[in-house]
Amino acid sequence: MADPRPDHLLARDLAVAAGKVLLDIRAAFPSDGDPKALKDAGDRGSHDYLMAALAEARPDDAVLSEEGADDPVRLRSDRVWIVDPLDGTREFSERPRDDWAVHVALWERGSLVAGAVALPARDQVFATDAPPEIPPAAGGRIRLAVSRSRPPAWLPALVEALDAELVPMGSAGVKAVSVLDGSTDAYVHAGGQYEWDSAAPVAVASASGLHTSRVDGSALLYNQPDVLLPDLVVCRPELAARILAAVARLDLS
């Protein structure tokens, strides 16, 4: 029997609960343990929890998980949960860093209809059951969320075009919700992501009124045969035209 909780609430609860699983794994891991072993334990533990929980709560729905084998049945399904059990595996393994996340999103008949991004080490969750309001504009230069470890080669050109400043941080989910919590004004990515990297952040950002799109301004599409979704823009709506115009002038290869 399906869980009676609404999809929005279920997404939130599952992201939070998977986060607790990850915190327990991290706390129990030896301080001198192999970081790769911690990464693997986190990926597997959160994935196993989410798969079991979704099988119980929504037995008729398909699931697309970063850590699971792709099941072609999802392409014939009306409802597909798209999950990243541990977004920011590297950051998770570098204790005490807190810039890692859990993503849980629901795609239904062509659209993202629910989602949650939990930041367990910060005791935060951003979810579509209660979309956060867009913070007031900070004023001054545009603040861009950027990877602390792998900034793209084209980034300096975008910074120059926008007269922007960079705010380094970890996982894709953390970067996306940084626009929601007011830490940044935009997150621009090009060069390789998958549906699970952005589905939940995009669901929450869109529900909150942020602009979300591909770097060419086209819609982000999910539950596709090829799950590679290599680029996105998440930004304050009043900045979208300016950012997309600047990106259009760049070589993002």
pLDDT digits (tens, 9 = 90+) for 47-56: 999 999 999 9
Q: What is the pLDDT of residues 230-250, one digit of tens each?
A: 999 999 999 999 999 999 988
State the DSSP code for 10. H
Confirm if 68 and 28 have CB atoms less than 8 A apart.
no
Helical spans, DSSP H, in 30-171: 35-57, 89-93, 155-162
Prior bond of 96 cis (ω within 30°): yes
Tell me what percent of the residues of the chain surpass a pLDDT of 70.
Answer: 98
Domains and CATH numbers, the chain: 7-127 (3.30.540.10), 143-248 (3.40.190.80)
At residue 48, the pLDDT reads 98
In our burial notation (b when 16+ CB lie closer than 10 A, e otherwise), range 179-216 reads bbeebbbbbbbbeebbbbbbbbbbbbbbbbebbbbbbe
Query: Cα separation of 195 and 158, whole Å?
Result: 24
Q: What is the pLDDT of residues 102-147, one digit of tens each?
A: 999 999 999 999 999 999 999 999 999 999 999 888 888 999 998 8
β-bridge partners, 104: 83, 116
H/E run at residue 24 = helix 7-28
Q: What is the mean pLDDT of residues 22-44?
A: 94
